[in-house]
Amino acid sequence: MDLIVSTDVLAAFCERAAKFDFVTVDTEFLRETTYWPKLCLIQAATDEEAVLIDPLVPGFDLTPFYELLANPDVVKVFHAARQDIEIFVKATGKVPANIFDTQIAASVCGFGDSVSYDNLVRSITGVELDKSSRFTDWSARPLTEKQRLYAVADVTHLRDIYRELRKQVDATRRGDWVEDELGILRNIDTYVVQPEQAWERLKMKINRPRDLAALKRLAAWREQRAQDTDQPRSRIIKDDVLSELAIQRPLTPDAFEKLRAVPRGFGRSSAAAEIMALLKDVEAMTKAELPVLPERYRGPSPKGAVGDLIRVLLKSVAEQNGVAARILATSDEIDALVLDDDADVPALNGWRRKLFGEKALAIKHGRIGLVATRKGIVEFEIKQPAIPE
Protein backbone atom coordinates (compact mmCIF):
# COMPACT_ATOMS: atom_id res chain seq x y z
CA MET A 1 0.00 0.00 0.00
CA ASP A 2 1.12 3.59 -0.61
CA LEU A 3 2.38 5.83 2.20
CA ILE A 4 1.53 9.39 1.23
CA VAL A 5 4.04 11.96 2.51
CA SER A 6 3.44 14.97 0.23
CA THR A 7 0.54 17.34 -0.31
CA ASP A 8 0.57 16.91 -4.10
CA VAL A 9 0.19 13.13 -3.89
CA LEU A 10 -2.50 13.51 -1.22
CA ALA A 11 -4.42 15.99 -3.39
CA ALA A 12 -4.34 13.55 -6.33
CA PHE A 13 -5.69 10.72 -4.14
CA CYS A 14 -8.45 12.93 -2.74
CA GLU A 15 -9.44 13.99 -6.25
CA ARG A 16 -9.82 10.34 -7.23
CA ALA A 17 -11.63 9.48 -3.99
CA ALA A 18 -14.20 12.25 -4.53
CA LYS A 19 -15.55 10.31 -7.53
CA PHE A 20 -16.69 7.38 -5.37
CA ASP A 21 -19.88 7.03 -3.34
CA PHE A 22 -17.97 6.34 -0.14
CA VAL A 23 -14.48 6.30 1.35
CA THR A 24 -13.50 4.37 4.47
CA VAL A 25 -11.44 6.25 7.08
CA ASP A 26 -9.52 5.39 10.24
CA THR A 27 -6.75 6.95 12.32
CA GLU A 28 -3.97 5.91 14.64
CA PHE A 29 -3.19 8.28 17.48
CA LEU A 30 -1.63 8.61 20.91
CA ARG A 31 -3.36 10.09 23.94
CA GLU A 32 -1.83 8.65 27.09
CA THR A 33 0.03 11.83 28.07
CA THR A 34 -2.05 14.54 26.37
CA TYR A 35 -5.51 16.08 26.56
CA TRP A 36 -5.84 16.27 22.79
CA PRO A 37 -5.17 13.12 20.74
CA LYS A 38 -1.92 13.27 18.76
CA LEU A 39 -2.63 12.19 15.19
CA CYS A 40 0.02 9.75 13.95
CA LEU A 41 -1.49 8.14 10.86
CA ILE A 42 -4.56 8.40 8.62
CA GLN A 43 -5.87 5.41 6.67
CA ALA A 44 -8.31 5.77 3.79
CA ALA A 45 -9.67 3.49 1.07
CA THR A 46 -11.93 3.62 -1.96
CA ASP A 47 -13.15 0.67 -4.01
CA GLU A 48 -9.95 0.82 -6.05
CA GLU A 49 -7.15 1.73 -3.66
CA ALA A 50 -6.07 2.04 -0.05
CA VAL A 51 -3.54 4.55 1.26
CA LEU A 52 -1.75 5.51 4.44
CA ILE A 53 -1.21 9.23 5.08
CA ASP A 54 1.66 10.35 7.32
CA PRO A 55 0.64 13.56 9.16
CA LEU A 56 3.95 13.67 11.05
CA VAL A 57 5.94 14.70 7.96
CA PRO A 58 7.16 18.30 8.53
CA GLY A 59 5.34 20.81 6.35
CA PHE A 60 2.74 18.28 5.16
CA ASP A 61 -0.50 20.17 4.40
CA LEU A 62 -3.51 17.93 4.99
CA THR A 63 -5.99 20.42 3.53
CA PRO A 64 -6.93 18.19 0.54
CA PHE A 65 -7.96 15.40 2.90
CA TYR A 66 -9.93 17.79 5.10
CA GLU A 67 -11.73 19.01 1.98
CA LEU A 68 -12.60 15.40 1.13
CA LEU A 69 -14.03 14.97 4.64
CA ALA A 70 -16.15 18.08 4.10
CA ASN A 71 -17.50 16.84 0.73
CA PRO A 72 -21.22 16.08 1.26
CA ASP A 73 -21.40 13.88 -1.84
CA VAL A 74 -19.05 11.23 -0.44
CA VAL A 75 -20.02 9.06 2.54
CA LYS A 76 -17.20 8.87 5.11
CA VAL A 77 -17.32 5.43 6.69
CA PHE A 78 -15.80 4.94 10.15
CA HIS A 79 -15.95 2.24 12.80
CA ALA A 80 -16.43 3.61 16.34
CA ALA A 81 -16.00 7.09 14.91
CA ARG A 82 -16.07 9.31 17.96
CA GLN A 83 -12.35 9.65 18.66
CA ASP A 84 -11.45 9.81 14.97
CA ILE A 85 -13.94 12.61 14.42
CA GLU A 86 -12.70 14.43 17.52
CA ILE A 87 -9.27 14.61 15.88
CA PHE A 88 -10.70 16.13 12.71
CA VAL A 89 -12.89 18.58 14.66
CA LYS A 90 -9.80 19.79 16.50
CA ALA A 91 -7.94 20.22 13.20
CA THR A 92 -10.71 21.83 11.14
CA GLY A 93 -13.34 23.12 13.57
CA LYS A 94 -15.99 21.05 11.75
CA VAL A 95 -17.48 17.57 11.87
CA PRO A 96 -16.89 15.61 8.62
CA ALA A 97 -19.91 15.71 6.32
CA ASN A 98 -22.06 12.67 5.50
CA ILE A 99 -20.62 10.20 8.02
CA PHE A 100 -21.59 6.58 8.67
CA ASP A 101 -20.49 4.53 11.69
CA THR A 102 -20.46 0.76 11.23
CA GLN A 103 -20.42 0.15 14.98
CA ILE A 104 -23.73 1.99 15.28
CA ALA A 105 -25.20 0.16 12.30
CA ALA A 106 -24.03 -3.19 13.69
CA SER A 107 -25.69 -2.50 17.05
CA VAL A 108 -29.13 -2.07 15.44
CA CYS A 109 -28.60 -5.11 13.21
CA GLY A 110 -28.14 -7.59 16.04
CA PHE A 111 -24.34 -7.75 16.32
CA GLY A 112 -24.35 -6.60 19.94
CA ASP A 113 -23.49 -3.38 21.72
CA SER A 114 -20.14 -1.70 20.87
CA VAL A 115 -19.01 -4.62 18.72
CA SER A 116 -15.28 -4.45 17.95
CA TYR A 117 -13.93 -4.06 14.44
CA ASP A 118 -12.13 -7.41 14.44
CA ASN A 119 -15.26 -9.25 15.62
CA LEU A 120 -17.28 -7.55 12.90
CA VAL A 121 -14.69 -8.47 10.27
CA ARG A 122 -14.80 -12.07 11.48
CA SER A 123 -18.61 -12.20 11.46
CA ILE A 124 -19.12 -10.60 8.03
CA THR A 125 -16.04 -11.56 6.01
CA GLY A 126 -14.72 -14.62 7.84
CA VAL A 127 -11.26 -13.06 8.05
CA GLU A 128 -9.26 -13.31 11.30
CA LEU A 129 -7.29 -10.08 11.80
CA ASP A 130 -3.86 -9.90 13.39
CA LYS A 131 -4.31 -7.25 16.10
CA SER A 132 -0.85 -7.58 17.64
CA SER A 133 0.17 -4.12 16.38
CA ARG A 134 -2.75 -2.36 18.05
CA PHE A 135 -0.72 -0.90 20.92
CA THR A 136 2.52 -0.14 19.11
CA ASP A 137 4.05 3.35 19.11
CA TRP A 138 2.42 4.94 16.07
CA SER A 139 4.56 8.07 16.42
CA ALA A 140 7.79 6.13 15.76
CA ARG A 141 9.25 6.27 12.27
CA PRO A 142 9.77 4.43 10.04
CA LEU A 143 6.61 2.36 10.28
CA THR A 144 7.24 -1.37 10.09
CA GLU A 145 5.68 -3.50 7.37
CA LYS A 146 3.60 -5.21 10.06
CA GLN A 147 2.26 -1.85 11.23
CA ARG A 148 1.38 -0.87 7.68
CA LEU A 149 -0.49 -4.11 7.04
CA TYR A 150 -2.38 -3.74 10.33
CA ALA A 151 -3.29 -0.13 9.59
CA VAL A 152 -4.51 -0.69 6.04
CA ALA A 153 -6.66 -3.64 7.14
CA ASP A 154 -8.66 -1.19 9.24
CA VAL A 155 -10.05 0.41 6.08
CA THR A 156 -10.00 -2.34 3.46
CA HIS A 157 -12.28 -4.79 5.28
CA LEU A 158 -14.40 -1.82 6.32
CA ARG A 159 -15.58 -1.54 2.71
CA ASP A 160 -17.22 -4.98 2.82
CA ILE A 161 -18.63 -4.35 6.28
CA TYR A 162 -20.20 -1.09 5.16
CA ARG A 163 -21.88 -2.68 2.12
CA GLU A 164 -23.27 -5.57 4.15
CA LEU A 165 -24.57 -3.40 6.98
CA ARG A 166 -26.15 -0.98 4.53
CA LYS A 167 -28.07 -3.91 3.07
CA GLN A 168 -29.19 -5.11 6.49
CA VAL A 169 -30.22 -1.65 7.65
CA ASP A 170 -32.26 -1.13 4.47
CA ALA A 171 -33.79 -4.61 4.62
CA THR A 172 -34.93 -4.14 8.24
CA ARG A 173 -36.01 -0.53 7.61
CA ARG A 174 -33.89 0.71 10.47
CA GLY A 175 -32.31 3.63 8.67
CA ASP A 176 -34.03 6.08 11.00
CA TRP A 177 -32.52 4.25 13.99
CA VAL A 178 -29.04 4.70 12.56
CA GLU A 179 -29.76 8.33 11.70
CA ASP A 180 -30.81 9.06 15.29
CA GLU A 181 -27.49 7.73 16.54
CA LEU A 182 -25.48 9.53 13.88
CA GLY A 183 -27.12 12.77 14.98
CA ILE A 184 -25.01 12.60 18.14
CA LEU A 185 -21.81 12.12 16.13
CA ARG A 186 -22.74 14.96 13.79
CA ASN A 187 -23.17 17.42 16.65
CA ILE A 188 -19.96 19.37 17.24
CA ASP A 189 -20.86 19.71 20.94
CA THR A 190 -20.13 15.98 21.25
CA TYR A 191 -16.43 16.75 20.83
CA VAL A 192 -15.99 20.16 22.44
CA VAL A 193 -16.11 20.16 26.24
CA GLN A 194 -16.93 23.61 27.59
CA PRO A 195 -15.08 24.14 30.90
CA GLU A 196 -18.18 25.49 32.63
CA GLN A 197 -20.00 22.23 31.85
CA ALA A 198 -17.16 19.92 32.90
CA TRP A 199 -18.69 19.24 36.33
CA GLU A 200 -21.60 17.42 34.66
CA ARG A 201 -19.24 14.58 33.72
CA LEU A 202 -18.45 13.89 37.38
CA LYS A 203 -20.48 11.36 39.36
CA MET A 204 -20.20 12.76 42.87
CA LYS A 205 -22.65 13.09 45.73
CA ILE A 206 -22.84 16.73 46.74
CA ASN A 207 -25.27 17.65 49.52
CA ARG A 208 -24.68 21.38 50.06
CA PRO A 209 -25.08 24.30 47.63
CA ARG A 210 -21.68 25.81 48.45
CA ASP A 211 -19.99 22.45 47.85
CA LEU A 212 -21.71 22.29 44.46
CA ALA A 213 -20.57 25.83 43.65
CA ALA A 214 -17.00 24.85 44.51
CA LEU A 215 -17.19 21.67 42.44
CA LYS A 216 -18.41 23.61 39.41
CA ARG A 217 -15.58 26.14 39.71
CA LEU A 218 -12.94 23.49 40.32
CA ALA A 219 -14.06 21.30 37.41
CA ALA A 220 -14.07 24.30 35.07
CA TRP A 221 -10.60 25.33 36.25
CA ARG A 222 -9.22 21.81 35.72
CA GLU A 223 -10.79 21.47 32.26
CA GLN A 224 -9.41 24.81 31.10
CA ARG A 225 -5.96 24.06 32.48
CA ALA A 226 -5.95 20.61 30.85
CA GLN A 227 -6.91 22.11 27.49
CA ASP A 228 -4.40 24.97 27.73
CA THR A 229 -1.49 22.74 28.75
CA ASP A 230 -2.57 19.70 26.68
CA GLN A 231 -2.46 17.35 29.66
CA PRO A 232 -4.94 14.65 30.74
CA ARG A 233 -7.39 15.82 33.40
CA SER A 234 -6.05 13.27 35.86
CA ARG A 235 -2.55 14.74 35.57
CA ILE A 236 -3.89 18.12 36.66
CA ILE A 237 -6.03 16.80 39.53
CA LYS A 238 -7.84 13.49 39.92
CA ASP A 239 -11.60 13.28 40.37
CA ASP A 240 -11.45 12.19 44.01
CA VAL A 241 -9.22 15.17 44.81
CA LEU A 242 -11.72 17.54 43.17
CA SER A 243 -14.42 16.12 45.40
CA GLU A 244 -12.38 16.58 48.59
CA LEU A 245 -11.36 20.11 47.62
CA ALA A 246 -14.99 21.04 46.89
CA ILE A 247 -16.10 19.82 50.32
CA GLN A 248 -13.11 20.91 52.45
CA ARG A 249 -12.31 24.13 50.54
CA PRO A 250 -8.76 24.80 51.84
CA LEU A 251 -7.90 28.49 51.76
CA THR A 252 -4.27 28.38 52.93
CA PRO A 253 -1.20 26.28 51.99
CA ASP A 254 -1.26 24.74 55.47
CA ALA A 255 -4.87 23.69 55.00
CA PHE A 256 -3.82 21.71 51.92
CA GLU A 257 -1.31 19.76 53.99
CA LYS A 258 -4.17 18.40 56.13
CA LEU A 259 -5.90 16.80 53.14
CA ARG A 260 -5.16 13.15 52.45
CA ALA A 261 -5.96 13.35 48.73
CA VAL A 262 -3.30 15.90 47.73
CA PRO A 263 0.46 15.24 47.69
CA ARG A 264 2.67 16.87 50.31
CA GLY A 265 3.83 20.32 49.28
CA PHE A 266 1.01 20.82 46.76
CA GLY A 267 -0.39 23.71 48.79
CA ARG A 268 2.56 25.91 47.80
CA SER A 269 2.27 25.22 44.05
CA SER A 270 0.97 27.64 41.43
CA ALA A 271 -2.01 25.33 40.87
CA ALA A 272 -2.91 25.52 44.57
CA ALA A 273 -2.69 29.31 44.45
CA GLU A 274 -5.25 29.36 41.62
CA ILE A 275 -7.48 26.92 43.47
CA MET A 276 -7.37 28.96 46.68
CA ALA A 277 -8.33 32.09 44.74
CA LEU A 278 -11.40 30.49 43.21
CA LEU A 279 -12.38 28.87 46.52
CA LYS A 280 -12.23 32.27 48.21
CA ASP A 281 -14.65 33.51 45.56
CA VAL A 282 -16.94 30.60 46.40
CA GLU A 283 -16.79 31.43 50.13
CA ALA A 284 -17.73 35.02 49.32
CA MET A 285 -20.88 34.02 47.40
CA THR A 286 -24.19 34.96 48.99
CA LYS A 287 -26.89 32.35 49.48
CA ALA A 288 -28.79 33.86 46.57
CA GLU A 289 -25.76 33.34 44.32
CA LEU A 290 -25.29 29.67 45.18
CA PRO A 291 -26.57 27.00 42.75
CA VAL A 292 -29.72 25.11 43.64
CA LEU A 293 -29.22 21.45 44.43
CA PRO A 294 -31.26 19.02 42.30
CA GLU A 295 -34.46 18.09 44.07
CA ARG A 296 -33.98 14.81 45.87
CA TYR A 297 -36.35 12.06 44.80
CA ARG A 298 -38.31 10.60 47.70
CA GLY A 299 -40.41 7.97 45.92
CA PRO A 300 -39.84 4.23 45.45
CA SER A 301 -36.30 3.11 44.74
CA PRO A 302 -35.53 2.66 41.03
CA LYS A 303 -33.73 -0.51 42.07
CA GLY A 304 -37.02 -1.98 43.32
CA ALA A 305 -39.72 -4.06 41.67
CA VAL A 306 -40.73 -1.49 39.04
CA GLY A 307 -37.18 -1.16 37.82
CA ASP A 308 -36.83 -4.95 37.75
CA LEU A 309 -39.96 -5.30 35.61
CA ILE A 310 -38.68 -2.69 33.16
CA ARG A 311 -35.35 -4.51 32.93
CA VAL A 312 -37.19 -7.73 32.05
CA LEU A 313 -39.11 -5.79 29.40
CA LEU A 314 -35.84 -4.40 28.04
CA LYS A 315 -34.36 -7.86 27.60
CA SER A 316 -37.52 -9.12 25.95
CA VAL A 317 -37.80 -6.19 23.50
CA ALA A 318 -34.11 -6.48 22.63
CA GLU A 319 -34.41 -10.21 21.89
CA GLN A 320 -37.60 -9.81 19.85
CA ASN A 321 -36.07 -7.10 17.67
CA GLY A 322 -32.54 -8.47 17.38
CA VAL A 323 -30.93 -5.39 18.86
CA ALA A 324 -28.44 -4.98 21.70
CA ALA A 325 -30.19 -4.19 25.01
CA ARG A 326 -27.69 -1.43 25.88
CA ILE A 327 -28.49 0.40 22.66
CA LEU A 328 -32.09 0.68 23.89
CA ALA A 329 -31.36 1.69 27.49
CA THR A 330 -28.66 1.41 30.12
CA SER A 331 -29.32 0.52 33.74
CA ASP A 332 -28.81 4.16 34.79
CA GLU A 333 -31.31 5.29 32.15
CA ILE A 334 -33.90 2.85 33.47
CA ASP A 335 -33.34 4.27 36.96
CA ALA A 336 -33.90 7.78 35.59
CA LEU A 337 -37.05 6.67 33.77
CA VAL A 338 -38.47 5.16 36.96
CA LEU A 339 -37.84 8.44 38.78
CA ASP A 340 -39.18 10.74 36.06
CA ASP A 341 -41.58 10.21 33.14
CA ASP A 342 -39.83 13.05 31.32
CA ALA A 343 -36.25 12.01 32.07
CA ASP A 344 -33.73 13.28 29.54
CA VAL A 345 -32.61 9.83 28.38
CA PRO A 346 -32.38 8.30 24.89
CA ALA A 347 -34.92 5.62 25.83
CA LEU A 348 -37.64 8.29 25.86
CA ASN A 349 -36.73 9.78 22.49
CA GLY A 350 -37.01 8.83 18.83
CA TRP A 351 -37.14 5.20 17.75
CA ARG A 352 -36.21 3.95 21.21
CA ARG A 353 -39.34 5.48 22.70
CA LYS A 354 -41.53 3.78 20.08
CA LEU A 355 -39.83 0.43 20.56
CA PHE A 356 -39.24 0.42 24.32
CA GLY A 357 -39.84 3.70 26.16
CA GLU A 358 -43.63 3.83 25.82
CA LYS A 359 -43.93 0.25 27.07
CA ALA A 360 -41.62 1.01 29.98
CA LEU A 361 -43.81 3.93 31.04
CA ALA A 362 -46.90 1.76 30.65
CA ILE A 363 -45.43 -0.84 33.01
CA LYS A 364 -44.42 1.89 35.46
CA HIS A 365 -48.02 3.16 35.59
CA GLY A 366 -49.71 -0.25 35.65
CA ARG A 367 -51.17 -0.11 32.15
CA ILE A 368 -49.46 -3.28 30.92
CA GLY A 369 -48.04 -6.36 32.62
CA LEU A 370 -45.65 -9.13 31.69
CA VAL A 371 -46.15 -12.88 31.71
CA ALA A 372 -43.61 -15.64 31.06
CA THR A 373 -44.59 -18.22 28.44
CA ARG A 374 -42.76 -20.99 26.60
CA LYS A 375 -42.23 -18.55 23.73
CA GLY A 376 -40.79 -15.91 26.04
CA ILE A 377 -42.06 -12.78 27.76
CA VAL A 378 -45.48 -11.57 26.60
CA GLU A 379 -47.00 -8.18 27.34
CA PHE A 380 -50.69 -7.87 28.24
CA GLU A 381 -52.94 -4.89 28.84
CA ILE A 382 -54.20 -4.17 32.36
CA LYS A 383 -57.59 -2.49 32.01
CA GLN A 384 -57.86 -1.62 35.68
CA PRO A 385 -54.45 -0.60 37.11
CA ALA A 386 -53.57 -2.71 40.12
CA ILE A 387 -52.00 0.32 41.76
CA PRO A 388 -53.83 3.69 41.53
CA GLU A 389 -51.70 6.40 39.93
Neighbours of 149 (CB within 10 A): 13
Residues 90-148 have pLDDT tens digits of: 999 999 999 999 999 999 998 988 899 999 999 999 999 988 888 899 999 999 999 99
Neighbours of 245 (CB within 10 A): 25
Cα distance between residue 202 and residue 218, in whole Å: 11
Count Cα atoms within 13 angstroms, Cβ side, for 66.
15
- Domain parsing of the chain, residue ranges: 2-190, 195-289, 305-381
Task: Read off the pLDDT of each residue in 186-201 and give the average, rounded to a whole number.
Answer: 94
Coil/strand/helix, residue 308: helix
Cα distance between residue 40 and residue 143, in whole Å: 11
For the chain, give the percent of residues with pLDDT over 90: 79
Mean pLDDT of the chain: 92
pLDDT of residue 170: 96
Q: Does the pLDDT value for residue 389 go beyond 60?
A: no
Q: Does the pLDDT value for residue 384 go beyond 90?
A: no
pLDDT of residue 261: 87
pLDDT of residue 299: 58
**What's the whole-model pTM score?**
0.89
Coil/strand/helix, residue 4: strand
Cα distance between residue 313 and residue 380, in whole Å: 12
pLDDT of residue 374: 79
Residues 64-92 have pLDDT tens digits of: 999 999 999 999 999 999 999 999 999 99
Q: Which amino acid is at 239?
A: D
- With CA atoms as reference, report the closest residue to 152 among 27, 269, 257: 27
Residues 140-179 have pLDDT tens digits of: 999 999 999 999 999 999 999 999 999 999 999 999 999 9
Q: Does the pLDDT value for residue 326 go beyond 60?
A: yes
Residues 12-53 have pLDDT tens digits of: 999 999 999 999 999 999 999 999 999 999 999 999 999 999
Task: Read off the pLDDT of each residue in 293-299 and give the average, rounded to a whole number.
Answer: 68
Determine whether 9 is exposed, middle or buried from the number of CB atoms within 10 Å of its CB (0-12, 13-18, 19+): middle
Same fold, 195-289 and 305-381: yes
Are residues 328 and 317 in contact, defined by beta-carbon separation less than 8 angstroms? yes
> pLDDT tier at 1 (50, 70, 90 boundaries)?
low
Q: For domain 2-190, is the CATH number 3.40.50.720?
A: no
Cα distance between residue 385 and residue 241, in whole Å: 49
Q: For domain 305-381, is the CATH number 3.40.50.261?
A: no
3 Cβ contact partners less than 8 Å away, ≥ 6 residues apart: 51, 52, 53, 54, 143, 148
Q: Does the pLDDT value for residue 291 go beyond 90?
A: yes
Q: Does the pLDDT value for residue 386 go beyond 80?
A: no
- With CA atoms as reference, report the closest residue to 375 among 318, 321, 322, 316: 316
- With CA atoms as reference, report the closest residue to 43 among 152, 140, 118: 152
Q: What angle do CA 294, 296, 302 make, to 5 degrees?
A: 120
Cα distance between residue 277 and residue 299, in whole Å: 40
Cα distance between residue 197 and residue 111, in whole Å: 34
CATH annotation of 195-289: 1.10.150.80
Task: Read off the pLDDT of each residue in 224-237 and give the average, rounded to a whole number.
Answer: 96
